[in-house]
């Protein structure tokens, strides 16, 4: 039944939808109330932003011709009423509001609720700096809660492996936006608490402010505040702070930044090792140099002491030699003395007991003689 249906190009469909939207009188110059998000001002002066309520979001553009006429500076979270026409952008097949006028309505309801919860949690001390714990940059294991197939997990894993490859990485997959995201994030968080982790990274790879609402869930924020593991929030948005950012121990504006906060770079470790090695080598060289100097001093002292000892011994020996020479009987004989011996070879020290005609021996310095006693006289 479809074979007879005409075949259209994609652009045909988009042009047709645009024609319907732009020709509908009900969609021309309509007043729309919503909260501004993703607000950007281009160099051309055009405003590009989204309008949202609790259920839906629509893209909008306000060209510079109309933008310069408004009397206030639009900003994210501000609730406004715009006068616009519904249009379609054919190349992308999307529709949007072409805004002609804009007026303030008040602070957006979502922002009011966010600020109310933020104030409540702050009053309970959940954001206090005293609760913040240091991050161990030499971890054994790191946990990551994020979408399993997104760019965030690839960035985190790649950078951790590059910086500190010895750390184990545990991934706890979860949705990071949508109605079910807070429930899944909380479930993944509770699962992570069962593991022995040094650090837990929670986040996503950026996105529009309304996409970050899951990270403002009160139950999730309170659970994170009571985490047994230090938390790094990596929601990936530089401007918009979520409540997870406030309660976490550290905040990173990107997943790559979270990996850098969670680990030390191995190149820094190598640099420290090189410095320590150089310092140790210098210390050893200095110690060896000092010991060499000490050894040279000891050697010099020992040689001097040995020389003095030898000299003292030489002098002592000379003194003993002199004494021995003085006590040598031959030295006495050389001075004109002699020794007389009886028949038994005993020295004669007295005339007592001597008799005439007895032979005695007399020892002189250069020989000896034998004589016969012919006369004996006393003192």
Q: Are residues 368 and 228 in the same domain?
A: no
Q: Are residues 63 and 152 in the same domain?
A: no
Distance CA 83, CA 81 (A): 7
* Cβ atoms 176, 146 nearer than 8 A: yes
Higher pLDDT pick, 262 / 266: 262
DSSP state of 230: -
Burial class, 328, CB count within 10 angstroms (exposed 0-12 / middle 13-18 / buried 19+): exposed
Mean pLDDT of 371-377: 83
In a domain, 98, yes or no: yes
Q: Are residues 157 and 101 in the same domain?
A: no
Q: Are residues 238 and 175 in the same domain?
A: yes
Q: Taking 70 as the threshold, does the pLDDT of residue 219 lie above it? A: yes
What is the separation of C-alpha 35 from the centre of its chain, rounded to a whole number of angstroms?
A: 43
* Cβ atoms 80, 102 nearer than 8 A: yes
Q: What pLDDT, on a 0 to 100 scale, did the predictor assign at position 174?
A: 95
- pTM of the model as a whole: 0.56
Complete DSSP assignment for 233-286: EE---SSPPPHHHHHSSEE-SSHHHHHHHHS--HHHHHHHHHHHHHHHHHHHHH
CATH assignment of the domain containing 40: 2.40.50.140
Residue 104's pLDDT band (boundaries 50, 70, 90)? Answer: confident
Distance CA 114, CA 116 (A): 5
Place of tokens 């553009």: 61
Residue 107's pLDDT band (boundaries 50, 70, 90)? Answer: low
Place of tokens 């109605």: 179
Q: What pLDDT, on a 0 to 100 scale, did the predictor assign at position 159?
A: 94
In a domain, 257, yes or no: yes
pLDDT over 90, % of the chain: 46
Residue 344's pLDDT band (boundaries 50, 70, 90)? Answer: confident
The predicted-structure confidence for 128-177, as pLDDT tens digits, reads as follows 999 999 999 999 999 999 999 888 999 999 999 999 999 999 999 999 98
Instruction: Look up the domain containing 26 and give its range.
Output: 10-107
Instruction: Tell me which H or E stretch contains 141.
Output: strand 141-146
Q: Provide the token pair at 269.
A: 């470790």
Distance CA 364, CA 330 (A): 9
Q: Are residues 315 and 341 in the same domain?
A: no
In a domain, 1, yes or no: no
Q: Are residues 260 and 123 in the same domain?
A: yes
Mean pLDDT of 323-331: 74
Q: Which of 86, 107, 128 is the last residue of a domain?
A: 107
Which of 262, 222, 266, 215 minimizes the C-alpha distance to 242? Answer: 215
Q: Are residues 127 and 237 in the same domain?
A: yes
Burial class, 204, CB count within 10 angstroms (exposed 0-12 / middle 13-18 / buried 19+): buried
DSSP three-state, residue 38:
strand
Strand order in the sheet with 199-203: 168-173, 141-146, 199-203, 231-234, 250-251
Distance CA 211, CA 372 (A): 149
Q: Are residues 284 and 347 in the same domain?
A: no
In a domain, 4, yes or no: no
DSSP state of 116: H
Question: In the chain, how many domains are there?
Answer: 4
Residue 199's pLDDT band (boundaries 50, 70, 90)? Answer: very high
CATH assignment of the domain containing 218: 3.40.50.2300
Which of 259, 249, 244, 121 minimizes the C-alpha distance to 176? Answer: 244
Question: Do the strands 199-203 and 339-341 form a parallel or antiparallel pair, or are they unpaired?
Answer: unpaired
Residue 228's pLDDT band (boundaries 50, 70, 90)? Answer: very high
Q: What pLDDT, on a 0 to 100 scale, did the predictor assign at position 106?
A: 66
What is the separation of C-alpha 205 from the centre of its chain, rounded to a whole number of angstroms?
A: 25
Q: Are residues 236 and 142 in the same domain?
A: yes
Q: What pLDDT, on a 0 to 100 scale, did the predictor assign at position 51?
A: 94
Complete DSSP assignment for 41-101: E-TTS-EEEEEE-SS-EEEEEE-HHHHTT-SS---TTEEEEEEEEEEEETTTTEEEEEEEE
What is the separation of C-alpha 356 from the centre of its chain, rounded to a whole number of angstroms?
A: 119
Distance CA 339, CA 364 (A): 7
In a domain, 378, yes or no: no
In a domain, 286, yes or no: yes
Mean predicted lDDT score pLDDT of the chain: 88
Q: Provide the token pair at 231.
A: 């938390």
Higher pLDDT pick, 285 / 130: 130
Q: Are residues 161 and 244 in the same domain?
A: yes
Q: Are residues 365 and 226 in the same domain?
A: no
In a domain, 228, yes or no: yes
Q: Which of 264, 282, 303 is the last residue of a domain?
A: 264
Residue 236's pLDDT band (boundaries 50, 70, 90)? Answer: low
Q: Are residues 206 and 315 in the same domain?
A: no
Distance CA 206, CA 150 (A): 11
In a domain, 296, yes or no: yes
Place of tokens 């012919």: 374
């Amino acid at each position: 039944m479809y074979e007879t249906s005409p075949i259209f190009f994609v652009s045909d469909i988009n042009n047709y939808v645009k024609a319907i939207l732009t020709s509908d009188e009900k969609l021309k110059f309509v007043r729309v109330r919503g909260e501004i998000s993703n607000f950007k001002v281009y160099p051309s002066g055009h405003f590009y932003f989204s309008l949202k309520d609790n259920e839906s979001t629509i893209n909008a553009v306000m060209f510079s011709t109309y933008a310069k006429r408004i009397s206030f500076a639009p900003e994210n979270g501000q609730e406004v009423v715009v006068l616009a026409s519904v249009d379609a952008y054919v190349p992308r097949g999307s529709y949007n509001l072409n805004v002609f006028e804009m007026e303030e309505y008040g602070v957006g309801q979502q922002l009011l609720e966010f600020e109310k919860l933020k104030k409540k949690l702050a009053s309970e001390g959940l954001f206090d700096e005293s609760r913040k714990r240091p991050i161990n940059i030499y971890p054994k294991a790191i946990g990551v809660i994020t979408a399993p197939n997104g760019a965030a997990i690839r960035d985190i894993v790649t950078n951790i492996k590059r910086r500190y490859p010895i750390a184990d990485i545990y991934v706890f997959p979860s949705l990071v936006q949508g109605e079910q995201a807070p429930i899944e994030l909380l479930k993944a968080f509770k699962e992570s608490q069962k593991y022995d982790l040094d650090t837990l990274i929670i986040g996503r790879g950026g996105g529009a402010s309304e996409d970050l609402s899951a990270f403002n869930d009160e139950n999730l924020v309170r659970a994170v505040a009571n985490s047994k593991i230090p938390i790094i929030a990596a929601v990936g948005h530089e401007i918009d702070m979520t409540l997870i950012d406030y309660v976490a121990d550290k905040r990173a504006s990107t997943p790559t930044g979270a990996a850098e906060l969670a680990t030390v770079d191995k190149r820094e470790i190598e640099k420290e090792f090189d410095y320590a090695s150089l310092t140790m080598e210098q210390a050893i060289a200095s110690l060896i140099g000092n010991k060499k100097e000490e050894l040279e001093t000891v050697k010099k002292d020992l040689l001097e002491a040995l020389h003095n000892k030898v000299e003292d011994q030489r002098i002592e020996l000379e003194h003993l030699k002199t004494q021995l020479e003085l006590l040598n009987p031959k030295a006495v004989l050389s001075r004109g003395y002699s020794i007389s011996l009886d028949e038994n070879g005993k020295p004669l020290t007295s005339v007592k007991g001597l008799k005439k005609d007895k032979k005695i021996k007399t020892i002189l310095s250069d020989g000896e003689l034998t004589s016969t006693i012919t006369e004996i006289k006393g003192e």
